A and B are shown apart, each in its own frame.
Chain A
């Protein structure tokens, strides 16, 4: 199964321009016979919205998401957007397939330290839930969700075998670490111990000097990076998802099987 990792740049606060770019890449993914196109966190709006937040919020039942639903008869779509609900705003991600929203995930952990101000503008999501897709048990994380062991535990306990991480991860480095490496280690642990694929789709582009580094990748259930996009540049990357690898990994290292029964997958 072919998956398109759409590592795009966005235009800050311009829904229509971002939507037309997203549509362009969805069409390309359909043409390339992909079964899923994944876009980054806040792909329809840009990241550091500050006071633009309330002008780019979308109703999940509204027209713009509706048009994406129509497209989803041809290909599954995952993307990040600002969700507006009852006057509050969420940093959300949807999984759309066959004209339906299979899952809407609201970012649960909103960073508010260092350069981050998400908790100021967004309302927290309340849960991490795995759901069924053609790829198996799928879980969506949005960026910071991944750094909480509790999220990984939630995904693990629910038998996730395809973790999709949508990200707007800014570049930094110092003598101790370099940001892209951090994402590899997050996924490496999860993939190996949960027998799960992990797709990390990070945006590119700059917002007032803050550079989102890209470097999107698909990791297999053994912890190997199958394919990886460039740093700092927009890229359309196709990677192969092979369901058989999940069962092979389970035979070699069936970690979830030996959890308490209440945790184990039905």
Chain B
């Protein structure tokens, strides 16, 4: 029942996101997009949107497996490539990531995961330069709010068509675009280490998180009001605390103000200045 509030009019939202992707890229003078394709539902959806926006010949899906990455991930990403007809490239991150990791003993999974995410960021931005393209981001609203991503890693992009859509809404649109079933049916995973699973790692389901976040932030419910909807106090408080702690990941670095006009404080212009 509560989940019904997240129901999208997929026709209109799809049109809107296609126009967003097309216009916000074309107005910069470029016409190509680079997307990191993981085989997951988020990046797959973005590939379908970008194909409609720019045409398959102008979209590059880059797959960046590490040696421990799941084979299914690559296979699923290839299904998206075949189905959309976009350009693709496989650029393994094993060598550069291992070369860096070798400099440390006992690097934690978290640190390694961040290294992988940032190695992929380097790869994507380098390819975007090579192809005269912009990197199209694939972080959804649930991850952005929870801070479930790597700052300047997978969170880095030039534009993001799906950053205002909760995970459940991503699935609705994925169905609308006929994203292959093997992608929409599997459990979401960052695939940063073997057997990783988003919902196990987070400690709650995406459905619960979506409903809690939607009520807390979109509808401005208080924590108590969300608990009254039938959620555990610790869960609602924990999610709200995650959102607060991760605010930095949603912003550029803060700057020490000295002058009368400080960048982003009182020097205020949009990216689309003159575009």
Contact = CB atoms under 8 A, between A and B. Distances in A.
A212 to B, nearest CB: 11
A169 to B, nearest CB: 14
Contacts of A206: 19-20, 23-24, 27, 272
B270 A175 contact: no
B257 interface: no
A175 B5 contact: yes
Contacts of B159: 209
Nearest to A9: B23
B104 interface: no
B9 interface: yes
B256 interface: no
A11 interface: yes
B176 interface: no
Contacts of A175: 4-7
B25 to A, nearest CB: 10
Contact of B16 (A11, A12, A13, A232): A232
Contacts of B260: none
Contacts of B83: none
B52 to A, nearest CB: 13
Contacts of B268: 50-51
A244 to B, nearest CB: 36
Interface string A193-230: 00000000000011111010100000000000000000
A205 B23 contact: yes
Contacts of B7: 175
A235 B267 CA distance: 34
Contact of A12 (B6, B15, B24, B270): B270
Given A209-B24, A232-B19, A50 B9 contact: no
Given A175-B7, A178-B12, A231-B12, A14 B269 contact: no
A208 B218 CA distance: 20
A211 B12 CA distance: 12
A50 B270 contact: yes
Contacts of A174: 5, 218
Contacts of B12: 173, 178, 231
B110 interface: no
Interface string A177-188: 010000000000
B271 interface: yes
Contact of B274 (A11, A48, A51, A232): A11
A25 to B, nearest CB: 19
A35 B65 CA distance: 62
A243 B23 CA distance: 39
A12 B19 contact: no
Contacts of A178: 9, 12
A231 B6 CA distance: 22
B13 interface: yes
Contacts of A207: 270, 272
Interface of B: 4-9, 12-13, 15-16, 19-20, 23-24, 27, 159, 218, 267-275
Closest 6 CB pairs of A and B: A175-B5, A50-B268, A232-B19, A208-B270, A51-B268, A207-B272
9 contacts: A12-B274, A13-B274, A50-B270, A173-B12, A174-B218, A175-B7, A208-B270, A209-B159, A211-B20
